[in-house]
Chain A
Amino acid sequence: MYDVEKVRTEFPILGRKVGGKDLVYLDNAATSQKPRRVLEALNEYYEEHNANIHRGVHRLSEEATSAYEGSRGKVARFLGAPEETGLVFTRGTTESVNLVAHAWGRKELREGDEVVLTEVEHHSNLVPWQLAARATGAKLRFVPVLEDGTLDMEEAARLIGPRTKMVAAVHASNVLATINPVERLAELAHEAGALMLVDGAQSAPHLPVNVEALGCDFFACSGHKMLGPTGVGVLWGRPEVLEEMDPFLGGGEMIREVHLDHSTWNDPPHKFEAGTMNIAQVVGFGAAVDYLKGLRMENVREHERRLGEYAYQRLSELEGITIHGPTEDRTGIASFTLPDVHPHDLSQLLDEEGIAIRSGHHCTQPLMRRLGVVATARASFYLYNTEEEVDALVDALARAREFFGAFV
């Protein structure tokens, strides 16, 4: 039995007030809150083990190295990665995608090659490919999104072909509450001889993920969206693919031998971890995946599926509301627009009641254009949110409409 009230007690920030009201935090797709044990892991690291890693021959450095590399193992197992050597620490999903678009893209893409993306991508899985395309002469193609928010998979099968070198797609949309069939996209990519990258920023925190089962070649996610500290994320890549790639950043740790005029590279994953990494944050990330593992991701998904359905149903009671995305199989995200109050004004009015939601384009401007809106309001739930908080949201939205309506 999943005990959300017990879970809530482990997140200190959930006890705070905003303007005298209980905080209702519904901006989890932007970043998650942190459980006590993650905060303690950060503290413990700094109070007891802090040192630079990998090259120090002293006790603290050995402890710090072991904590850092221990996190690598934890995160690799969490993602179902068969081996740790494929797991590269980065600053987050954005950096992970940039790493691939740069270190793989600049080396492998040629004029006439194609990279297939989707219309629902977050800017972080779009702009890096635009840069790679500009540098190499490759072309970007886009799998269209259908009216119900799902991908046009027939068109995907047509688009992915002999010219395709990479398919890169978001696993769970940060706007539409969809889970995309990335397994099928990976099959199509591999049939065409292309590689598959999955942007897991919104899936790894919320669903059981297994990179082997997905069949992808790269998987990217961010620690801070899954209870971990900011400043750390991962890129998992098939070791044989990482092996062939050029380095991303040059500097310490990523080298084997350095001469004045040339250098040779360390093995993956170290080849892609130049300079001093966010060691404490990596250690904190390890504590976060331990915590998630303890709750079991199946339970997390089930809790959020129910909450997402409940939110969809309650929000539908608001007259004239548009909730974007499909009616079923939703994640814990609800993007919506009301005809009478702009999303910005909504989030301002909700903030007065201690309710944190997001408004804007959610870093998906092409998708907003496709939906015919400039902005949406978005409530995004996580493992500590409750049905009472959904009720608070819906009541506050009704009051916001009354407030605006009173002036007409």
Chain B
Amino acid sequence: MMRELYTQVIMDHCQRPRNQGKLEDADLEEHLLNPLCGDEVVVYAAFDGDRVAEVRFSGRGCAISQASASMMTERLSGKSLKEAEAEIEMFKEQMVGKKEFPKLDDLAALKGVVKYPSRVKCAILAWSAFHEGLSKGGRGSEELAIPEE
């Protein structure tokens, strides 16, 4: 049972997170808390024109939230802003069971979480943060455009 939830891929990402750590001079930096448990995530992105050049994350959380954040950084790097938004939307629908995960998709490793509604929030935390960052304008938002003295 637990192997369906804590899959090899999830545990690998959780114990060897990709793209972890603050990104200096990020075009997007968004902090999000899971109010249910206090877990926190910060996502960072650098943009190149309308493409997402680099995505990183930091924060503290459970295996599911850390692994999902790590997988997100890989998934969204190199995508156009529009594609990134569509990916986030699709992932959220998959996590609430509205859409199926394609068979060969890495993210399908998170499929087991769908059965545990209390953990779905953990899985989508980083994705929601990224979405929030994009909707605030991401790159070019006034807050981020102000250079530090």
B145 interface contact, C-beta 8 A: no
Binary CB contact string for chain B from 48 to 76 against chain A (1 if under 8 A, 0 otherwise): 00000000000011111000000000000
Asked if B5 and A348 make an inter-chain contact with CB atoms under 8 angstroms apart, the answer reads yes
Interface size class of A (residues with CB under 8 A): 20 to 34
Contact residues of A between 393 and 408, Cβ < 8 Å to B: 403-404, 407-408
Report if A360-B2 is in contact (Cβ < 8 Å); known contacts: A342-B63, A374-B60. no
Residues of chain B within 8 A (CB-CB) of A403 are: 2, 6
Residues of chain A within 8 A (CB-CB) of B12 are: 407
For the complex, would chain A's binding face be called helix, strand, loop or mixed by DSSP majority?
Answer: mixed
Which of B6, B39, B40, B62 has the most C-beta atoms of chain A within 10 angstroms of its own C-beta? B62
Asked if A344 and B2 make an inter-chain contact with CB atoms under 8 angstroms apart, the answer reads no
A352 interface contact, C-beta 8 A: yes
Asked if A360 and B11 make an inter-chain contact with CB atoms under 8 angstroms apart, the answer reads no
Residues of chain B within 8 A (CB-CB) of A94 are: none
Give which listed residue, A19, A361, A407, contacts B38 with CB less than 8 A: A361
A349 interface contact, C-beta 8 A: yes
A244 interface contact, C-beta 8 A: no
Residues of chain A within 8 A (CB-CB) of B104 are: none
Asked if A342 and B62 make an inter-chain contact with CB atoms under 8 angstroms apart, the answer reads yes
Asked if A344 and B11 make an inter-chain contact with CB atoms under 8 angstroms apart, the answer reads no
Asked if A374 and B40 make an inter-chain contact with CB atoms under 8 angstroms apart, the answer reads yes
28 contacts between A and B (CB under 8 A): A19-B1, A341-B63, A342-B62, A343-B37, A344-B39, A344-B61, A344-B63, A344-B119, A345-B62, A345-B63, A348-B2, A348-B119, A352-B1, A352-B2, A360-B37, A360-B38, A361-B38, A365-B38, A368-B38, A374-B37, A374-B38, A374-B40, A374-B61, A403-B2, A404-B6, A404-B63, A407-B12, A408-B15
**Distance in Å: Cβ of B70 to nearest Cβ of chain A:** 14
Asked if B37 and A375 make an inter-chain contact with CB atoms under 8 angstroms apart, the answer reads yes
B141 interface contact, C-beta 8 A: no
Residues of chain B within 8 A (CB-CB) of A349 are: 2
Contact residues of B between 1 and 19, Cβ < 8 Å to A: 1-2, 5-6, 8, 11-12, 15
**Distance in Å: Cβ of A238 to nearest Cβ of chain B:** 36
Determine the distance from Cα of A359 to Cα of B64 in the docked complex, in whole angstroms: 14
Binary CB contact string for chain A from 102 to 126 against chain B (1 if under 8 A, 0 otherwise): 0000000000000000000000000
Binary CB contact string for chain A from 77 to 101 against chain B (1 if under 8 A, 0 otherwise): 0000000000000000000000000
B122 interface contact, C-beta 8 A: yes
Residues of chain A within 8 A (CB-CB) of B36 are: 360
Residues of chain B within 8 A (CB-CB) of A368 are: 38
Determine the distance from Cα of A345 to Cα of B2 in the docked complex, in whole angstroms: 10
Determine the distance from Cα of A275 to Cα of B38 in the docked complex, in whole angstroms: 36
Asked if B122 and A344 make an inter-chain contact with CB atoms under 8 angstroms apart, the answer reads yes
**In the complex, which residue of chain B has the Cβ closest to the Cβ of A365?**
B38
Determine the distance from Cα of A19 to Cα of B37 in the docked complex, in whole angstroms: 24
Residues of chain A within 8 A (CB-CB) of B63 are: 341-342, 344-345, 404
Asked if A407 and B8 make an inter-chain contact with CB atoms under 8 angstroms apart, the answer reads yes
Give which listed residue, A352, A375, A404, contacts B39 with CB less than 8 A: A375
Determine the distance from Cα of A368 to Cα of B33 in the docked complex, in whole angstroms: 14
Asked if B39 and A374 make an inter-chain contact with CB atoms under 8 angstroms apart, the answer reads yes
Give which listed residue, B8, B40, B61, contacts A342 with CB less than 8 A: B61
